[in-house]
Structure 1
Amino acid sequence: MKNQFHPLLEGAYEFHVHSAPSIFNRKQTDWELIEDAKLAKMGGLVLKSHETSTAERAFLLKEKEPALNVFGGIVLNQHVGGLNPYAVETSLKMGGKVVWFPTLSAGQHQQYFKKKKTKLFNGNPLLSESTVSIEEEGRLIEEVEIIFRLIREHDAVLATGHLSLKEQHAIVSAAIEAGVEKIVIQHADMGISKIPLEDQLFFASQGCIIEKCYLACSSDFNDLTVEEMAKTIEVIGHESCILVTDYGQPHHEAPVYALNSFVEKLLEHGVKEEEIVKMLQGNPKTLLGVD
């Protein structure tokens, strides 16, 4: 294992990372994760859990390590009652910064993993057996509008989760109309809910930030190479992208080391240092309201 991190990780933010406790096996606990982040002199992390709010964990981690900005949020899966405004409000009032729309409970996610054999989400625990729908009779349900209002009022970030392309267009359009200013299109290149490049460009033109996710290049997905991802960044513009790993799975390298590998490979394929700084520091800090 490497004992030295690339200098570009200093001050960097990892906006999409998984750690334990979780109902899924994870590579590291929260404590182990932040020890690596400290070694790399990172600026901060956003903890994501498919099954529970991470706002409380982030609060305690930041109390322990005040120099590291640790943030949490909530994913709107069945585990928290789906599109549950009460759970959203609670997470945001406890310091949560991100509201992710359904992942495991998205119909798109479940259809994708029915067809794919992978080490992710198979076996025990099983996938959620019922889906969380954002629409009823072709219209967004009332709870979605309430959640938009809560996100806006708390200056939080809306992330699109594992929704289908059609659903993501519906959510983004309605959220912008409702005054939500911070929207992240999650792992846009990943097969779970792959966003065509023309749609990524459209979302960027609407002010959304596009996640460029290392996991999409991993053995779990093999959706594209880092070289191909670098080309998409060039087309979209680094001003509209963030770099994330989405790591934490036990069969991969630890997340901070994965981020280090991601940065090194992007540099090899022509992404400039100042562009990486923008995607790892400037854009995440703007989303999170960090100076």
Structure 2
Amino acid sequence: MKSQFHPLLEGAYECHVHSSPSIFKRKQTDWELLEDAKKAKMGGIVLKSHESSTVERAFLLNEKESSIQAFGGIVLNQHVGGLNPYAVETALKMGGKIVWFPTLSAGQHQQYFSRNNTKLFNGNPLLSKGTVSIEEDGQLLDEVTVILQLIKDYDAVLATGHLSLAEQHTIVHAAKETGIEKIIIQHADMGISRIPIEDQQYFASLGCMIEKCYLACSSDFHDLTAEEMAKTIELIGHESCVLVTDYGQPHHEPPVYALSRFIEDLIFHGVKEEQIRKMVQENPRSLLGVDEHE
């Protein structure tokens, strides 16, 4: 019997996925997502929440299901106190792997959704009533400096969230100066905070991983086609890319199914299987600190 999932999902890691509990409607609960990942024989999933830490949720999933690794982290929106070093240290001390810079609370996010009416975020971009900025008067805030040091100390991953292009350059350079090795430039092709291809190449040259996000190809955004996504991967180099869906919204297919379809689409448009394997297995393992034999 043919599997409903692409074979390259076996051992793969989905580093950007949404499930419930959440203040937003989600397609699946954590448990339902985990069951799909288990059926596909994936290596692991990273739970992302705009409004709370997912570290505790990941811990409970791992307690009940050892065949799939669940990972959590924290997004620095107003819901957790914004640039809150105490929340960051708590999440990392409890096993968190990723610190995402602001999404809902980023000025870039709020400007985008004030101009674009979509099915996302319930049509309301201002669930965060103000913005969380990483700078004041052109200077990086002290809280950011502390958070960067925590990310380095815990060998965690810094993800750029929905920051503007200028803010992403600022935070990446500050992170590199701090000695942070693991950086993800998030959904680089998506309209929320689109990164020009030259900047994507530049960030890759610094050792950052560029997130190739299927949601950018979806009906929510139509930012580019899968064929165009494949071309960006060729221009950047698959060694510097990770494939994610950013799915979990109720009007889309379940995330694991979407990741399988993403892989099929890219292969159809010329991306080689060994390149896919690098982007869904090897690169995520490197970011998450997972041994190949775990």
Structure 2 counterpart of 1:161, which letter? G
Q: Report what 1:54 is aligned to.
A: 54
Q: Using the alignment, how far apart are the partners of 1:217 and 1:33 within structure 2?
A: 21
Residues 110 and 127 in structure 1, CA contact (< 8 A), matched pair in contact too: no
Q: Using the alignment, how far apart are the partners of 2:124 and 2:229 within structure 1?
A: 32
Q: Report what 2:31 is aligned to.
A: 31
Q: Report what 2:40 is aligned to.
A: 40
TM (norm. structure 2) is: 0.97
Q: Report what 2:285 is aligned to.
A: 285
Q: Using the alignment, how far apart are the partners of 1:124 and 1:168 within structure 2?
A: 24
Question: What does the per-residue CA deviation read over 1:225-260, in whole Å, with 9 as the maximum and x for residues that have no partner?
Answer: 000000000010000000000000000000000001
1:15 CA displacement = 0.3
Aligned counterparts, 1:198-213, within 5 A: 198-213=198-213
Aligned counterparts, 1:139-288, within 5 A: 139-288=139-288
1:127 CA displacement = 2.3
1:280 CA displacement = 0.2
Q: Using the alignment, how far apart are the partners of 1:127 and 1:196 within structure 2?
A: 28
Q: Report what 1:14 is aligned to.
A: 14
Q: Using the alignment, how far apart are the partners of 2:126 and 2:139 within structure 1?
A: 30
- The Cα RMSD (Å) is 1.1
Q: Report what 2:63 is aligned to.
A: 63
Q: Using the alignment, how far apart are the partners of 2:95 and 2:72 within structure 1?
A: 7
Q: Report what 1:4 is aligned to.
A: 4
Q: Using the alignment, how far apart are the partners of 1:6 and 1:194 within structure 2?
A: 29
The secondary structure found in structure 1 opposite 2:247 is coil
Structure 2 counterpart of 1:44, which letter? G
Q: Report what 2:106 is aligned to.
A: 106
Question: What does the per-residue CA deviation read over 1:13-33, in whole Å, with 9 as the maximum and x for residues that have no partner?
Answer: 000000000000000000000
The secondary structure found in structure 2 opposite 1:260 is helix
Mean Cα deviation higher: 29-38 or 63-72: 63-72
The secondary structure found in structure 1 opposite 2:11 is coil
TM (norm. structure 1) is: 0.98
Structure 2 counterpart of 1:23, which letter? I
Unaligned runs of 5+ in 1: none
Residues 109 and 125 in structure 2, CA contact (< 8 A), matched pair in contact too: no
Q: Report what 1:84 is aligned to.
A: 84
Q: Using the alignment, how far apart are the partners of 1:65 and 1:126 within structure 2?
A: 37
Residues 114 and 125 in structure 2, CA contact (< 8 A), matched pair in contact too: no
The secondary structure found in structure 1 opposite 2:103 is coil
1:3 CA displacement = 6.0
Residues 55 and 71 in structure 1, CA contact (< 8 A), matched pair in contact too: yes
Residues 117 and 123 in structure 2, CA contact (< 8 A), matched pair in contact too: no
Mean Cα deviation higher: 182-191 or 61-70: 61-70
Structure 2 counterpart of 1:15, which letter? C
Q: Using the alignment, how far apart are the partners of 1:189 and 1:125 within structure 2?
A: 20
Q: Report what 1:128 is aligned to.
A: 128
The secondary structure found in structure 1 opposite 2:120 is coil
1:123 CA displacement = 4.5
1:66 CA displacement = 1.1
Residues 24 and 125 in structure 1, CA contact (< 8 A), matched pair in contact too: no
Q: Using the alignment, how far apart are the partners of 1:16 and 1:205 within structure 2?
A: 23
Cα separation, partners in 2 of 1:91 and 1:260, compared to 1, 3 Å: same
Residues 157 and 287 in structure 1, CA contact (< 8 A), matched pair in contact too: yes
Unaligned runs of 5+ in 2: none
Cα separation, partners in 2 of 1:21 and 1:271, compared to 1, 3 Å: same
1:4 CA displacement = 1.3
After TM superposition, where is structure 1 displaced by more than 4 Å over at least 4 residues in a row?
123-126
1:122 CA displacement = 2.7
Cα separation, partners in 2 of 1:125 and 1:167, compared to 1, 3 Å: closer
